[in-house]
């Protein structure tokens, strides 16, 4: 069994298993919805692991989901105080998410996303910054939130993996989902396995990677990432903060935010799924 790190934070758990570092989103009561506190803890753990002898990092979620995406509950930053922010402040907040994800992109050790249950909206954005994504076959994956609250922040990054037409399909229909098998067919994920086998599959892959010396892994990752960067991956990620901040100033988004606050997130989701 992995050993639990004594420096565990509240929302992200770090466990070591030989050359593998397991980072677990541990907010199961909210389906591991991404809060800024959670992403800050993730960044702190990654900074610590840079100085460790870990060879590979695996990201996963506790409970029923990898992550339901950004926290859009009525008391969250995404909805609760949206009306108090200027467009510049909103853009800066979105850019902070990208900064946290870029820590994964630039992390010297390969990072595997082991995805099960639900992987929604911002969680797919996070997975796209990982080096390898493995999924459970029955995983439910959605590029856009179940309630349309933004535009152009997440789905453009999908274009790099699945092509623009599929990215548009996933973006235009609020909460449009695909399963793990389809995610592999489209190119979003590397492999799909039965949910019961996901942890061992990710472990076996990580152990295979760990046989390669750390310095070689680091340079291989840097070289391949550079190709994506030359094709504009990080530029597009940064532009998304601008377009989302713009759309957040519109009456349509204000109406959506009020809907969530008035009837609750579950009822708002049901409205769009119906």
Which domains are present in the chain?
A: 3-273 (3.90.226.10)
Sheet order of strands, 140-142 included? 118-120, 140-142, 177-179
Go through the chain and tell me how many residues it has.
274
pTM reported for the whole predicted model: 0.89
pLDDT at 74: 47
- 36 half-sphere exposure, CB direction, 13 A CA radius: 10
Residue 71 tokens, joined: 């926290």
Decide: 114 and 199 in contact? Cβ < 8 Å.
Answer: yes
Question: In the prediction, which pLDDT does 7 show?
Answer: 47
Q: How far is CA 92 from the centre of its chain?
A: 19
Say if strands 20-25 and 12-17 run parallel, antiparallel, or are unpaired: antiparallel
Residue 226: what pLDDT?
98
The predicted structure's pLDDT at residue 81? 53
Q: What pLDDT shows up at residue 79?
A: 47
Sequential pLDDT tens for the chain (274 residues): 455 554 444 799 999 999 999 999 999 999 999 999 999 999 999 999 999 999 999 999 999 999 999 987 644 555 445 556 788 888 898 899 999 999 999 999 999 999 999 999 999 999 999 999 999 999 999 998 777 777 789 999 999 999 999 999 999 988 899 999 999 999 999 999 999 999 999 999 999 999 999 999 999 999 999 999 999 999 999 998 888 888 888 888 778 777 777 877 777 777 666 5
User: Is 117 in contact with 24 (CB distance < 8 Å)?
Assistant: no
The residues, any chain, with a CB within 8 Å of residue 110's CB and separated by 6 or more, are 56, 57, 131, 132, 209, 217, 221
């Amino acid at each position: 069994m992995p050993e639990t790190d004594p420096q565990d934070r509240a929302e992200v758990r770090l466990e070591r298993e030989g050359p593998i570092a397991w980072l677990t989103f541990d907010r199961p009561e909210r389906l591991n919805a991404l809060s800024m506190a959670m992403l800050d803890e993730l960044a702190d753990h990654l900074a610590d692991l840079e100085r460790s002898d870990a060879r590979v990092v695996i990201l996963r979620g506790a409970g029923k989901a990898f992550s339901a995406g950004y926290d859009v509950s009525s008391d969250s930053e995404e909805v609760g105080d949206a009306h108090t922010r200027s467009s510049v402040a909103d853009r800066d907040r979105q850019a902070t998410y990208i900064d946290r994800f870029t820590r994964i992109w630039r992390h010297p050790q390969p990072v595997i996303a082991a995805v099960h249950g639900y992987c929604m909206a911002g969680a797919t954005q996070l997975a796209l910054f990982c080096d390898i994504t493995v999924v459970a076959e029955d995983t439910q994956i959605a590029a856009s939130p179940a309630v349309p609250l933004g535009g152009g922040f997440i789905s453009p990054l999908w274009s790099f993996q699945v092509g623009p037409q599929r990215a548009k399909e996933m973006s235009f229909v609020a909460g449009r989902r695909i399963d793990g098998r389809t995610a592999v067919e489209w190119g979003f994920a590397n492999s799909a396995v039965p949910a019961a086998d996901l942890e061992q599959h990710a472990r076996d892959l990580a152990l295979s990677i760990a046989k390669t010396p750390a310095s070689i892994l680091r340079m291989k990752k840097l070289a391949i990432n550079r190709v994506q960067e030359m094709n504009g991956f990080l530029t597009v990620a940064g532009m998304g903060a601008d377009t989302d901040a713009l759309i957040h100033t519109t009456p349509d988004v204000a109406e959506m935010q009020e809907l969530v606050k008035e009837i609750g997130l579950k009822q708002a989701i049901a409205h769009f799924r119906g």
